[in-house]
């Protein structure tokens, strides 16, 4: 109970970072030309997945498989080991030797299939750069896989996921929101000319500092006002 309260307070303190990152993200992507052929391909990928999801089939098993695989990768990165791994169309479960908020929340901000797609693309580029339309197909599939990640994650967050409840709702949502923006910028930066991942991080940091200063100023102002009333 005490840990959840502590994480809720931390989540509250991190809200300005979420706002700062959102402002930086909007400022960065608003510079992408609507006439960009790359953007058109990405948008088509988004549209194709949305049509597939709404009218034909929700690939729940694929999402659960990717979700649990990210749990496994995060566990290995943190020096833990996987005790058991189970995936079914109705859900999945991974038992690990250790846990922390990164292991618990990483599937909600790591687009497993987009990263897998990137690895496949790099391997194919290394083997043969002359494959026709490879880059165009890759960008289209990024739109598909990112939309799959966001739509299925949004549906998962509607449920009382044990991972979310364990880390605290506010803390989890702030972490998931911020890291999704970071991941999307990391994916977009090599694709769209003019986008800089380092500039986005720097802008997010400066925006967050400014918001913290504003909040601090408001608190000081409120405290001084209360003191004047009772002095």
Rounded to whole angstroms, the Cα distance separating 15 from 114 reads 27
For residue 226, pLDDT beyond 80: no
pLDDT at 129: 65
For residue 158, pLDDT beyond 70: yes
pLDDT at 85: 81
Average pLDDT, the chain: 82
Give the model confidence (pLDDT) of 35-81 as tens digits.
456 667 788 888 999 999 988 888 888 888 888 899 889 889 888 88
Which residue shows structure tokens 């409840």?
165
Rounded to whole angstroms, the Cα distance separating 52 from 123 reads 28
Tell me which of 51 and 27 has the higher pLDDT. 51
Give the model confidence (pLDDT) of 72-112 as tens digits.
898 898 888 888 888 877 777 788 888 888 888 888 888 88
All structural domains of the chain with their residue ranges: 2-230
Tell me which of 227 and 33 has the higher pLDDT. 227
């Amino acid at each position: 109970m005490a840990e959840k309260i502590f994480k809720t307070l931390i989540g509250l303190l991190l809200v300005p970072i979420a706002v700062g990152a959102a402002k930086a993200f909007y400022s960065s992507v608003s510079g992408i030309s609507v006439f960009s052929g790359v953007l058109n391909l990405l948008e088509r990928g988004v549209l194709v997945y949305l049509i597939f999801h709404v009218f034909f089939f929700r690939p729940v098993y694929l999402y659960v498989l990717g979700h649990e695989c990210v749990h496994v990768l995060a566990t290995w990165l943190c020096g833990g080991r996987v005790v058991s791994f189970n995936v079914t169309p109705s859900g999945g479960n991974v038992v690990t030797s250790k846990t922390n908020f990164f292991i618990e929340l990483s599937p909600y901000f790591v687009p497993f299939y987009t990263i897998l797609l990137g690895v496949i693309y790099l391997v194919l580029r290394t083997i043969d750069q002359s494959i026709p339309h490879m880059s165009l197909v890759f960008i289209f599939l990024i739109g598909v896989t990112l939309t799959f990640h966001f739509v299925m994650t949004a549906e998962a967050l509607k449920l009382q996921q044990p991972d979310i409840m364990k880390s605290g709702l506010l803390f989890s949502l702030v972490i998931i929101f911020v890291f999704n923006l970071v991941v999307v910028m990391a994916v977009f930066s090599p694709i769209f000319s003019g986008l800089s991942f380092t500039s986005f991080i720097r802008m997010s940091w400066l925006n967050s500092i400014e918001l913290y200063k504003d909040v601090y100023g408001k608190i000081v102002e409120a405290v001084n006002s209360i003191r004047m009333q009772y002095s």
